[in-house]
Amino acid sequence: MPIENIFAAVSAGSRELRITHRMQPLADARVLRPTQVALALKLVTEMDLLRLKTIARLHARGLPPDMGWEDLLQEALTRVLTGARRIPEQIAPVAFIAGVMRSLRSEHWRRAGKASKRYAASDYRARGTRELALKDTAPDPERSLIAIEELKAIERLFADDPIVLGIIDALGEGLSAGQIRAAQGLSQTDYDSARKRMRRCLLREGLTCRPK
Amino acid sequence: MQTKVTQLFPETALERVLEALERELLEATDAEILEAARDLGMKPEMKGSAAFLGLRYPSGPRREEFFDPQWMLRVLNDPRRISLAGRSLPPGAEGPRAPSARRARTRPAGRRPRPPKEPTES
């Protein structure tokens, strides 16, 4: 209906005003997700995406519920695709994207820590006293509690495998592979087969559709 | 000789464990990934496989997308809700009666019982 006719119909109080022509949605104007763009640009393969999903689910552990593994992965890919983070030539894209996710996680905790300190400082100013509080180097108790719970959740994944549990404890203490083998009394074969079991369990946990 | 005491914060331990597990996952081969997916009943080679949920197509909506997490925490930790849920029934009050397990079957209306068959002489 031409626009003049619409005005005429409205001013005449016509009740038979009907929309006779609808605009068809543009089929090509699809918004792609960063993962789809990365696939289309051949930055990663489908298997790489699955690998990144398992890593994203791992790094999303302990983060608040409004920051899921999908957000972490899509944000990391967006930063790479927009050029905010450039992949060095000698590093594989998957390893680099995993590193970006790790730094996003650290960034989140840094921001959360700064916010709590800002609130504490504003309290002092409100009371009109001098800021004499010593800088506390110990981590936030809430974050400590979350970390303990997440460590327990990881240990529960390997509850029926004491060798893997021992390896995870040692990894938490920062021991190297050689030190772990020596401390646990494991041969190279035992150590490698335990790592394989650990990888398989982690992959199963990472590929599941359950929420984190 | 003094023993060196080092305090290990759980955050540090978690970061180290996550970093080590990330390395393990980066080293996982394609065959291992496919094997793990098949263990879960997924077929990543098929179009629309559940393995790509959240990657190629969005997973279902999360409640955090609709509700503020802090608001949800306040609602869930509301002492009134907790006291209501934990309140026991007063003595003498009975809960809703459960339906009896065996009830007499009512015959549908309009259907009469058939007369017993008479023995035929053969």
Q: What is the pLDDT of residues B32-65, one digit of tens each?
A: 999 999 999 999 888 888 888 888 877 766 666 6
CA atoms within 13 A on the CB side of A95: 11
Which tens digits make up the pLDDT trace of A50-104? 999 999 999 998 888 778 899 999 999 999 999 999 999 899 999 999 999 999 9
> Which residues from B are below 8 Å from A47, CB to CB?
30, 33-34, 44
Query: Are residues A68 and B62, on separate chains, in Cβ contact within 8 Å?
Result: yes
How many helices (H) and strands (E) in chain A? 9, 0
Which tens digits make up the pLDDT trace of A116-144? 665 555 555 555 555 555 556 666 788 88
pLDDT of residue A151: 92
Given CA atoms B5, B6, B10, B13 in this order, what sign does their dihedral have? negative
What's the mean pLDDT when you consider all of chain A?
A: 82
pLDDT of residue A134: 57
Q: Kindly report the nearest CA distance between residue A126 and chain B, in angstroms.
A: 25
pLDDT of residue A80: 95
Residues 6+ apart with CB under 8 A from A178: none
Query: Are residues A144 and B9, on separate chains, in Cβ contact within 8 Å?
Result: yes
Q: Which of B83, B25, B44, B81 is nearest to A101 (CA)?
A: B25
Q: From the list A61, A138, A173, which residue is nearest B8 (CB)? A: A173
Q: From the list A36, A95, A199, which residue is nearest B56 (CB)? A: A36
Does this model's pTM top 0.90? My answer is no
Q: Compute how many other C-beta atoms are within 10 angstroms of the C-beta atom of residue B57.
A: 11
> Which residues from B are below 8 Å from A168, CB to CB?
17
Q: Kindly report the nearest CA distance between residue B94 and chain A, in angstroms.
A: 39
Answer yes or no: is pLDDT of B16 > 90. Answer: yes
The answer to whether B36 and A187 are in contact (CB under 8 A) is: no
Residues 6+ apart with CB under 8 A from A95: B26
Answer yes or no: is pLDDT of B112 > 70. Answer: no
Rounded-to-integer distance, Cα A35 and Cα A76, Å:
10
The answer to whether A183 and A150 are in contact (CB under 8 A) is: no
Q: Kindly report the nearest CA distance between residue B7 and chain A, in angstroms.
A: 10
- Beta strands of A44-199 (E only): which ranges? none
Rounded-to-integer distance, Cα A160 and Cα A167, Å:
13
Complex ipTM above 0.85?
no
